[in-house]
Structure 1
Amino acid sequence: METALEKSKQATWLRSAERRRIRKVAVLGAGVMGSGIACHFANIGVEVLLLDIVPRELTEAEKAKGLTLQDKVVRNRQVTELFQKAVKSKPAPLYSNKYAERITLGNMEDDMPQIADCDWVIEVVVERLDIKKKVFEQVEKYRKPGTLVTSNTSGIPIHLMLEGRSDDFAAHFCGTHFFNPPRYLPLLEIIPTDRTKPEVVEFLMDYGRRFLGKTTVLCKDTPAFIANRVGVFAIMDALHIIEEMGLKVEEVDKLTGPVLGRPKSATFRTLDVVGLDTMILVAKNLYEAVPHDERREAFKLPKVLEALQEKGWLGEKSGQGFYKKAQQNGKKDILALDFATLEYRPQEKVKFATLDAVKGIDDLAKAFKVLVNGKDKAGEFYRRTFASLFAYVSYRIPEIADELYKIDDAVCAGFGWKMGPFATWDAIGVEEGVKLIEAAGLSVAQWVKDMLAAGFTSFYKVEGSRKLYYDVHSKSYQPIPGTENFILLENYSNNVIWSNPGASLYDIGDGVYCLELHTKMNTIGAEVIQGLNYAVERAEKEARGLVITARGDNFSAGANLAMLFMYAVEQDWDEINMMIAQFQNTMMRLRYSAIPVVSTPFGLTLGGGCELNLHADHVQAHAETYMGLVEVGVGLIPAGGGTKEMALRLSDSLQNGDVELNRLQNTLMNIAMAKVSTSAVEAFELGYLRPSDAITTSRAHLIGDAKAKVIELADRGYVQPIRRKDIKVQGRSGLALIKAGLHGMWRGQYISEHDKKVVDKLGYVLCGGDLSSPQLVSEQYLLDLEREAFLSLCGEKKTLERIQAVLTTGRPIRN
């Protein structure tokens, strides 16, 4: 139940929300972080003023042009160069390059007065307190009262920046620590001082969640705040353990990557990418800043880091670190560092019985129990590192956080862990974790012992559909604040209506059902098709509507290619024809159901996964959705209604005065080049999303937003659509254009003979076949053409070669 305190906080937020809107933001400092933050605000539609310092010397090019230090182009050179570099960087900081127009560039001498028009000023200058104070002196001169001012520092105590500042400045000031890159890493730490107004903190927490799509974590003003304090400890402590155990680079990265629900870059690859100098600096600063930390010695550099620092081998930025790229027998190879000799050698195949034991265990919590019970070196490594991490986080409460969930949220969002330290400890068992700690010669904080003695055996539990955490101060379970509107299906395990190995149907309340896909990479095979049909049928009888979502980091990698390949090799054309017809019929079942269907794509949404979304009544896409019809890459065309749907959308978009054949060519090229959007915004530009579809920036809000849309459509009076028979296609005139273009590209050796054949068939479907003139056709007519083209391509040897290459190497080939 919602407490009186929560209701009071909500009322406070509502009052502050009514009077605070973020229309324009100033970002002071255009380096990697500053430009990234500016771009992300532009992504969500906010106008941005990005400022940096004025150069003190002319470049040779400027001298040659006769420019002086007073020319605006010179005075803005620093900000212009830094911003242009950021926009061109990969991964892209902008959802769409056109959003760069939302950012105005300037310098901190001429343009600082413009911050008077800004609602929020974010300082992202160099990590020096004296410089930050000078910047804030200038900000104080021009900001209007009530304007938010925050610092993106990662290490300087927030309260030290307020010396000499006014009461109004201090009341609206705090730390807002974004993680790099700001668009992609979800963590935003909010660090107030004792002078920050509570409503300012509440506003920033909510704004970060709802608008910026962040996991906002309220932090204390302690060294490195939460994520870096715990995350850097975990890395540095592991390095010492690795050194003692004599583990190899590639062994450690195998042990600390996806098997633990952590990024593929694991430990040493991550350090190389981040830069060893950065990690060394953070570790040294932490060592100096935490004299009373019981595990302070963990922040001391192990011998290997000291040696690499001396040699200047700092990771990717210097060309070598724990790994080094090299040419071996004419082939590119990645060599690993030998800790004993500090020389590079070929990587060895990693083999541990403990890792073999967790193969096939998809549930991370179940895998942890197996890992810590391993009898080999891997098991020992897990026991030692887990024991150390568990002991460490137990003592960080209440030092860095009063609530344990904040530590988990910060580490997961900042370092890409699937499960935070306390959730991992829960998976192993709290009592078992204490035994690990004591066996390692370490101690656990008294509050954990008291918790167990009082009969509380886990840090988290689920009641109803709400996740609760153990609150150390009240000695009871409390709901996690700010998650009231989250729908996390893991909390709805008691609401499963139906399931098979590929999909599960949940009742998520208010008369809305939700189907979750959970095959490997959420590929669409017979089990998912069964789930989709069953979900629609059941929802039509019992619910207001249906949400379709998926488990994991990606919505769907598409259809089950392995099954298709098997049938194609066996030349079982009837089975392929039936499989494709069933896929098409299921997509049409989604489109023409009696209830609204809302899909929630995120991450990779390819091929059949894209087609599923094309047929939903509404798509509520996560901002980071990478959507595309990619079948041409394996020598096929979209045949789950994808080609039909793009022809239909092309027809609907035609207006008087359009050059229809040019529009046809654009649609063809999007599919022929297997274009995948780099964001949900670009998915609109490519036509995969319609103007009526919408974007959610926060994954945590995605299902909730989709549910709200289902209710809106149902309450508005949803009526089952009628199958379309009015799709305009171009016939022979379109085919002639496509064939001429393909022949030219083939003659110029831009495409292969097989590419030409595949795209020719794609064009045939988009044009409605060999019709004598442009005319109107039905959806079923196009579906039949689509299926026939797909079947014929399945019989092509080169198509089978392409499918086999993807199945065996993960990469398509050009043949």
Structure 2
Amino acid sequence: MKCTIKKVAVIGSGIMGSGIACHFANIGVEVLLLDIAPKELTEKEQKKGLTLQDKVVKNRLVNEHLANSLKSKPSPIYHQKFASRITTGNIDDDLSKIADADWVIEVVVERLDIKQKVFEQVEKYRKPGTLITSNTSGIPIHFMSEGRSEDFQKHFCGTHFFNPPRYLKLFEIIPGPNTSKEVLDFLNGYGEKFLGKTSVVAKDTPAFIGNRVGIYGIMSMFHQVKEMGLTIEEVDKLTGPVIGRPKSATFRTVDVVGLDTLVHVANGIYDNCPDDEVHELFKVPDFINSMMENKWLGSKTGQGFYKKEGKVITSLDLDTLEYRPQQKASFATLELTKTIDKPIDRFKVLVKGKDKAGEFYRKNFTGMFAYVANRIPEITDDLYKIDDAMKAGFGWENGPFEIWDAIGVEKGIELMKAEGLEPAAWVNDMLKSGNKSFYTVKEGNTYYYDIESKSQKKVPGQDSFIILNNIRESKKVWSNSDAIIQDLGDGILNLEFQSKMNTIGGGVLQGINKALDLAENEYDGLVIGNQAANFSVGANIGMIFMMAVEQEYDELNMAIKMFQDTMMRVRYSAAPVVVAPHGMTLGGGCEMSMHADKVVAAAETYIGLVEFGVGVIPGGGGSKEMAVRASDLFHKNDVELNVLQEYFLTVAMAKVSTSAYEAFDTGILQKGKDVIVVNKDRQLAEAKKYAKILAEAGYTQPVKRKDIKVLGKQALGMFLVGTDSMEAGNYISEHDKKIANKLAYVMAGGDLSESTLVTEQYLLDLEREAFLSLCGERKTLERIQHMLTKGKPLRN
């Protein structure tokens, strides 16, 4: 099926509709966003003498919804200018415009009768062959297209985005009874390649895959918390990052999503799945009903399981239903996992716990194992789709079957039986057939156990991905404790950081230099990329702090020079270097990206030079590089100061982009050179492709720059006047001013009497000298210590 999506019509502009519209705008698609016209005038409209027939009135709802969405945090859109790709309208006047759309998405209220009326109207105007989908989260798809034409039914299915559409990767595709295979295949590929999603084709069963399993997990937790006498803080401690789940864990997540949303889906499963073996578990407990009656729905009503009172966050006591101060949760079992970096390696330890935490995990995991195994083939025929749905829709690092594999399939069954549970028959059949795990890895590819054939089958769609977990050891070329180099094939190496939070210290710098040696002498190119949650949070400030406190300035000078020299090796390597940032790419991680031949950034990249927050200036070439980039934009003398000032403010205000697209505005990424990929899973494969293109095009080692124009006293004077006035107005502290003045000195090229052409090394020396002098300041050490202990910046 050949189909190009140039224009999408979204009908329904609520939170989900506006979010979906924004995400299509994110990827460059033209969007028509429609909603109903209001039935009554507002007081303001009446005073203006407007009528219900005026266009501004008819479009009021859709415009208000979109405006609210664009103002929300986190933002649904990569860059505010992308909102211009969205045109608004109302169903009365503008529904005929869907004739120009390639895809119509219905996102109206969750009522079958209303949806059917919308589709009846849509069919009058849509052109044959246009995709038509519903974003329902629970209404059976087969009911919606009843009475519609053959062409409509052939091109109709459910496409369930998870909220917020920009950030949650799950994209469930639910076929109707007559949906063509070509349509399903197209949507599956489009979701993955263009929307950046994990596409999962689900069966038309209540709540589909993600919510069926996810709501089971939350509802079982609601019952367990009472049975085991746990507090909500204890449950959130046990179900958060320690097991590879979001920081919001269970109860804080429900507060964010809204208790009413959760109850709506749970009631839907309870009403429509009478044969579910744990049917009664979906019955809402009394304490939840009380919260619903009290309108304690979470963030939207100001209180739920947690409540903010002034600056203090209180927690709900589930026995008394009264709010109380938060209680710190701690368990001996969790202490045993502190030295285990990866959640997947912790599960074996957690289920052996002798305390309440161990008991909780045994009950929780075995219940989940039994439940997901029994959902096959009801909700899907393939076990990997359940894992994909939970990882992409609920932010789990590992899906249920991956966790079961980590514990051991046979050990999992032993634990299940101890809890009075039995595995599904197919699991026993799997073990009898000689397959001892749900997943295996062969030749860099992941295989899953296929129930029908009783054999391991390759998980589809991997050909466009490079999965480091699958090749880390088999393709290893070199490693130390902080970095590992893999052979990606075709003459391209990859360097992966493995330090805590991918901080850049001596081990990582050694890895970069080793990778560059290999790339220059034995390979064709180098990618620097990883698949952790974040690319890198920057330099190892703990090491800098210890050297500074001990006043080991010679050693600190050498460490900073090694960092600078390594960044310059990245810039002037004899082999092309492509850096692939994603997630948090801060400080040193940002500096590394700025020195690459090309950056292949994930759309969700939060990149910036944040060193001001710990009382220093960028010292790994970042301050130098901002001066270089400003110099490259100098065209006329009358604007040079303004250009330099923009780059200065990017560093001085520690600006961090909220997407890779915003990083073009700050000058961190460069138009015409750097590229963005929406699907992070494709990022390393794309980075490898660009490294190969650069190598095959006849890559030439760059010549070191000696032509950087610095403005000297002219710029320095402007900056110093600016910092004086900022301090006088109490916008910055005395120490902020000191840091800013050091940065000004570097970016102005010192106090030269006139504009001068200098080398990069000249600027690097100024940068290092400024960095070292700031490390001798007590207030800088206080800032670094505060960041190390509290995890947030100190303004002193």
TM more than 0.5: yes
Structure 1: which 4+ aligned runs deviate by more than 6 Å? none
Where 2:456 maps in the other structure, the secondary structure is strand
Spell out, residue by residue over 1:580-624, the C-alpha distance to the aligned partner (whole angstroms, 9 max, x if none).
Answer: 100000000111111111111001101111001001111000000
Letter in 2 for 1:115: I
Matched, 1:792 2:752: no
1:450 equivalent to 2:450? Answer: no
Structure 1 counterpart of 2:485, one-letter code:
L
Q: d(CA) in 1 for partners of 2:26 and 2:284?
A: 39
Alignment of 1:249-398 (within 5 A): 249-327=232-310, 332-398=311-377
Shift of 1:46: 0.7
* Structure 1 letter corresponding to 2:79: S
8 Å CA contact retained: 1:468, 1:479: yes
Match of residue 139, structure 1, among 122, 140, 145: 122
> Counterpart in 2 of 1:744?
725
The answer on 1:677 being equivalent to 2:657 is yes
SS of 2:474's equivalent in the other structure is helix
For 2:210, which of 227, 236, 242 is the aligned residue?
227
The answer as to whether partners of 1:522 and 1:551 remain within 8 angstroms in 2 is no
Percent identity of equivalent pairs: 62
| Partner residue, 1:728 | 709
Which residue does the alignment assign to 1:689?
669
1-structure distance, mates of 2:728, 2:303: 43
CA distance in 1: counterparts of 2:215 and 2:600, whole angstroms: 36
In the alignment, does 2:631 pair up with 1:651? Answer: yes
What does 1:751-790 correspond to in 2, within 5 Å? 751-790=732-771
Which amino acid in the other structure matches residue 6 of structure 2? R
Q: Does 1:33 align with 2:16?
A: yes
The secondary structure found in structure 1 opposite 2:62 is: helix
| 1:339 shift after superposition | 2.1
CA distance in 2, matches of 1:354, 1:756: 47
Q: 1:405-484 counterparts in 2 under 5 A?
A: 405-484=384-463
Q: What secondary structure sits across from 2:157 in the alignment?
A: strand
Partners in 1 of 2:721 and 2:293 — Cα distance?
A: 62
Amino acid at match of 1:624: E
Further displaced range: 82-91 or 634-643: 634-643
1:117 aligns with 100
The one-letter code matched in structure 2 to 1:378 is A
Indicate the SS of the match to 1:91: coil
Counterpart for residue 579 of structure 2: 599
* 1:241 lines up with 2:220 in the alignment: no
The answer on 1:507 being equivalent to 2:487 is: yes
CA distance in 1, matches of 2:356, 2:546: 40
Which residue does the alignment assign to 1:525? Answer: 505
Query: Could you say which residue in structure 1 is the equivalent of 2:555?
Result: 575
TM-score by length of 1: 0.96
Q: After the TM superposition, which of the residue ranges 98-107 and 332-341 deviates more from structure 2?
A: 332-341
Q: Which moved more, 1:670-679 or 1:196-205?
A: 196-205
The 1-side partners of 2:316 and 2:767 are apart by: 52
Q: What letter is aligned with 1:162?
A: S
AA aligned opposite 2:232? V
Q: Counterpart in 2 of 1:24?
A: 7
CA distance in 2, matches of 1:667, 1:547: 27
1:494 counterpart SS class: coil
CA contact (8 A) 2:243 2:344 kept: no
Correspondence for 1:97: 80
Partner Cα distance (2:148, 2:636) in 1: 61
Partner of 1:9: none
Change (3 A) 1:658 1:152: farther
Counterpart contact for 1:550–1:556, Cα < 8 Å: no
Q: Which consecutive unaligned segments of at least 5 residues does structure 1 have?
A: 1-15
Contact 1:51–1:111 under 8 Å retained in 2: yes
Give the aligned residue type for 2:585. T
Correspondence for 1:558 among 538, 544, 547: 538
Matched residue, 1:86: 69
Give the 3-state SS of the residue equivalent to 1:484 in structure 2. Answer: helix
Distance 2:565 2:597 in 1: 16
Q: Is the 2:483–2:508 contact (alpha carbons within 8 Å) kept by the matching residues of 1?
A: yes
Query: Equivalent residue of 2:269, what SS?
Result: helix
Cα distance in 2 for residues equivalent to 1:299 and 1:755:
55
**Per-residue CA shift, 1:434-476, capped at 9, x if unaligned?**
1122211122111100000111100000001000000011111
CA shift for structure 1 position 420: 0.4
TM-score normalised by L of structure 2: 0.99
Once the two structures are overlaid, the 10-residue window that deviates more, 300-309 or 511-520, is 300-309
- Which blocks of at least 5 consecutive residues in structure 2 are unaligned? none
SS of aligned partner of 1:336:
strand
Distance 1:727 1:657 in 2: 15
| Counterpart for residue 642 of structure 2 | 662
- Counterpart in the other structure of 1:711: 692
Show the counterpart of 1:57.
40
Amino acid at match of 2:396: W
Q: How many residues end up aligned between the 2 structures?
A: 794
Shift, 1:741, TM fit: 1.4
Contact 2:236 2:251 (C-alpha < 8 Å) held by counterparts: yes
Which of 784, 788, 793 is residue 807 of structure 1 equivalent to? 788
Is residue 599–residue 675 contact of structure 2 (8 Å, CA) maintained in 1?
yes
Is the 1:522–1:550 Cα contact (8 Å) retained in structure 2? no
Deviates more, 1:613-622 or 1:536-545: 536-545
Q: CA RMSD in A?
A: 1.1
Partner residue of 2:521? 541
CA deviations 1:619-638 (Å, max 9, x no partner) are 00000000000111222111
**Of 148, 151, 161, which residue of structure 1 is paired with 2:144?**
161
Note if 1:640 corresponds to 2:623.
Answer: no
Q: Which amino acid letter does the alignment assign opposite residue 531 of structure 1?
A: G
* Amino acid in the other structure paired with 1:220: K
CA contact (8 A) 1:23 1:46 kept: yes
The aligned amino acid for 1:570 is: E
SS in 2 for 1:104: strand
Whole-angstrom distance in 2 between the partners of 1:522 and 1:602: 12
In 1, Cα distance between equivalents of 2:530 and 2:612: 24
Deviation at 1:658, TM superposition (A): 6.2
* Aligned residue type for 2:178: R
CA distance in 2, matches of 1:351, 1:126: 43
Cα pair 2:468 2:530 within 8 Å, conserved: no
Whether the aligned pair in 2 keeps the contact of 1:517 and 1:551 (CA below 8 Å) is: no
- By how many angstroms is 1:551 displaced? 4.3
Cα shift readout 1:283-323 (whole Å, capped 9, x = no counterpart): 11110010111111110112321222233322222222222
1:608 matched to which residue of 2? 588
- SS at 1:109's partner residue? helix
User: Within 2, Cα distance between the matches of 1:658 and 1:235?
Assistant: 62
Amino acid at match of 1:486: F
In 1: Cα distance, 2:89 partner to 2:347 partner: 51
